[in-house]
Amino acid sequence: MIQFGFVAGIVLPIALVIIFRFVPPPINYLMIDRAAHGRGLDYQWRSLASISPNMVNAAIAAEDGRFCEHHGFDFEAIEKAMDRNARGGRLRGGSTISQQTAKNVFLWPGRGWDRWVRKGAEAYFTVLIETVWGKRRIMEVYLNVAEMGPGVYGTEAASQKYFHKPAKSLTPYDASRIAAILPNPIRYKAVGGGPYVQRRSQAIGGNAVTVRSEALSGCVIKKKKR
């Protein structure tokens, strides 16, 4: 029993992380759950080279401004989120892109009794992917598995659905519209959405300019040689 627990809890996660360092992750628990509830499943893997840098900048601007600085956990963002939530109003999370990627790829959805078990597993997988994958691979996987609409997963599927073009051709405007719905891609629409999406996409667009100009995405986007 102890040996089984060691394999299931330690060895298997490490093996999966190593495999997915080189192989695109298959469909995950969330995709299966959404498909089972009639939302469909559109998952089109693309390498980072086939995704516009505009989407990288927009994702960092929207979800994790310190992505290139932290090692998986942004404790400053977590503290701020806890402070805001304590004051009431709209609940906010402090999850980094690394944490979201770990959850999306390896864990099951749900908010019930197993919450703390999943949080512990998420932290473990976050440490593993930060160590084994590195930032570029984490961003590549994130931009391929993140839910970006009902039954829509990853930048390529979202780009084709909303703008009828490949992910490599996304403009800053396109990328900011997709990034704007990431908090709740089931509720919000990247195209034809309400004033919230419009305001958020404008803010993300402005922040993405800062991300690009201050090289806050430098761990992902390689500088072109002159």
User: Measuring CA to CA, which residue among 78, 129, 74, 73 is closest to residue 102?
Assistant: 129
pTM beyond 0.85: yes
The pLDDT value recorded for residue 192 is 86
CB-side exposure of 213: number of CA atoms within 13 Å? 6
Where exactly are the structural domains of the chain?
A: 2-213
The pLDDT value recorded for residue 115 is 81
CATH number, domain 2-213? 1.10.3810.10
For the chain (226 residues), the mean pLDDT of every run of 10, in chain order, is 58 95 95 93 97 98 97 84 62 82 90 81 96 98 97 98 98 98 94 92 98 97 69
Q: Is 226 helix (H, G, I), strand (E, B) or coil?
A: coil
DSSP assignment of 5-70: HHIIIIIHHHHHHHHHTTS-----HHHHHHHHTT---EE----GGGS-HHHHHHHHHHH-TTTTTS
Q: What tokens were used for 121?
A: 């597993």
